A and B are shown apart, each in its own frame.
Chain A
């Protein structure tokens, strides 16, 4: 089984051959394969032994994506799918076009600082949301015109929700 995985911002390739009893042969980025023995202890918790070293790997799923926790370090990853890669590149291409302001966390909208049609500067505050007794001002990613304002004072928003679009 071959997988393309983007981890810590790098696109890498893993080839896994599964043998009996949780034993695998793994090859990373075309390097020679080595033996790995793995046991899923419970969903999301993997004990991995290789070359006499033991590792506890923990899988985390959140609104942000999927991550592996290993030795106190958290590495976000995504299994690459050519379609989503292309679409991602398209979306992140340059400063042109509309840019969203998204909620970085769940919270409540406290104040709206701009309205549709307003011209805003880059890093100008556009919405204030509150969570856990802290107010946070969300800023415009670019200079431009507010073309959409989906935030309303008092409403609840989820992490990742698009609140404002600036063009």
Chain B
């Protein structure tokens, strides 16, 4: 294939006319905001886009905006977005030279990356070999040792038995953490504070890991108390160049899921950034890594950092890095995939300003974070200086119940952390998502909270805030105004037919039932 031949010629491709080595069509194997994000980058680079969709996503924004769109199958991801064979087949038939996997779904599936390699369709990401070397947490810990990176004390292989667990724990000292080697999202993870708890925790973690990941391999590491989660973005081309693009702090998490991310971290100075960046680059190079990736660290209260894992894909929170570096990571991913060398070196990278991102979810923070799929009946999106919204939604769209609940990412950029918080807070008040519940109110609460404002955060911060059950700081009531607005809306409604106020409030009204039907997307 032309593409492969060109890549394998290495540096000499500089003599080849640009049009010959460029990717002209990309299949985006994802949905939601990230599919839109990638699609926009392709447009900017003059690349034709191919969308794929499940039956639940026929009317999704990524399908409407793409140049070409092909149906994958029924709504469940296992019958649509996870079907690598179908996706490769569509790529072949549509003449796409590359596949961008986004995040989630097939993005970290080494088998799929390998199938792409065999089909001579460029997978925009690292080679399958690098994914395998870093994919499991135990293998990644071995790679970290080989790259001479600090990591938490503990085992680098799955525990063969409970007895081995006792001896490792005795060696490193309690408290310890049991983790699934194939883990993610907090599944198969147990904190163990004393010897008596280890037996039960070992069994629970192993069975949870078996159910969630199909592998019961668990290992043991020292528990870092109240750690911060700080990660380094790396970018590697196919010519041996690798740079780090500064850190992101993602300590605001709920049940091990990131909620707010920011760059830079308030506790990382130039020297620490350089050390972490160099460690991340060593790991990436030792694994033969290419394209964009993220090396995650835990940081203790003495600012020691410990390798956690490597994410071998573009991250949800990549925009905060883009804002503080001025780089477009998706453009760069595509350029790297075309075989271009990085056009800048480590010393060219300058961080400027502060960026903060909120993950906006269709879930109800006032009601146990219940998911809230359904029809978006009203949408007013924020804008103005320093605000970026990466969104996959529109007014009238029915948010399907089949996928994760992310609606959009709201990102603020300003010269300082304080100004970025104020800007984000301002944008949150402009943002209205109606018809379904969203977690916008949770962000207002966090952004107004003293510890967050002072950057006194760790990975347990949000769970503590939520369980403290302190009465919510009441938003100042605009009582009479809301009431008058309601009265004016009601008085201007047509007296009959759809939308009549009386009908709307009758318990078994037609519109309510219609709303339920629509909410279901039926």
Contact = CB atoms under 8 A, between A and B. Distances in A.
Interface in A46-87: 46, 48, 50, 55, 57-63, 65-75, 77-79, 81, 84, 87
B16 interface: no
B1 interface: no
Nearest to B499: A61
B373 A67 contact: no
A104 B432 contact: no
Nearest to B406: A132
Interface string B99-116: 000000000000000000
Interface in B266-325: none
The prevalent SS among residues of A at the interface is strand
Contacts of A61: 377-378, 434-435, 504, 511, 515
B76 to A, nearest CB: 10
A18 to B, nearest CB: 7
Interface string B469-492: 000000111111111111111111
A63 B374 contact: yes
Contact of A105 (B371, B380, B504): B371
A51 to B, nearest CB: 10
Interface residues of B, number: 60
B371 A58 contact: no
Most buried by B among A36, A65, A77, A156: A77
Interface in B428-450: 428-429, 432, 434-436, 440-441, 444
A24 B520 contact: no
Contact of B435 (A3, A38, A60, A79): A60
Contacts of B370: 104-105, 134, 136
Interface stretch (B57-65, B86-94, B397-405): B397-405
A92 interface: no
Most buried by B among A16, A24, A70, A78: A70
A61 B478 CA distance: 20
B401 A108 contact: yes
A74 to B, nearest CB: 8
A32 to B, nearest CB: 12
B367 A104 contact: yes
A21 to B, nearest CB: 14
B488 A106 contact: no
Interface stretch (A93-101, A117-125, A157-165): A157-165
B519 to A, nearest CB: 5
A166 interface: no
Contacts of B436: 62
Contacts of B487: 1, 3, 5, 14, 16, 26
B506 interface: yes
Interface of B: 362-363, 367-368, 370-375, 377-378, 380, 401-405, 428-429, 432, 434-436, 440-441, 444, 475-492, 501-502, 504-507, 511-512, 515-517, 519-522
Given A16-B487, A44-B378, 9 more contacts: A7-B482, A8-B477, A61-B434, A61-B511, A62-B515, A65-B505, A84-B507, A105-B374, A159-B519
Question: 3 tightest A-B contacts by CB?
Answer: A60-B434, A57-B485, A132-B371
6 contacts: A16-B487, A24-B484, A44-B434, A75-B482, A106-B521, A132-B402
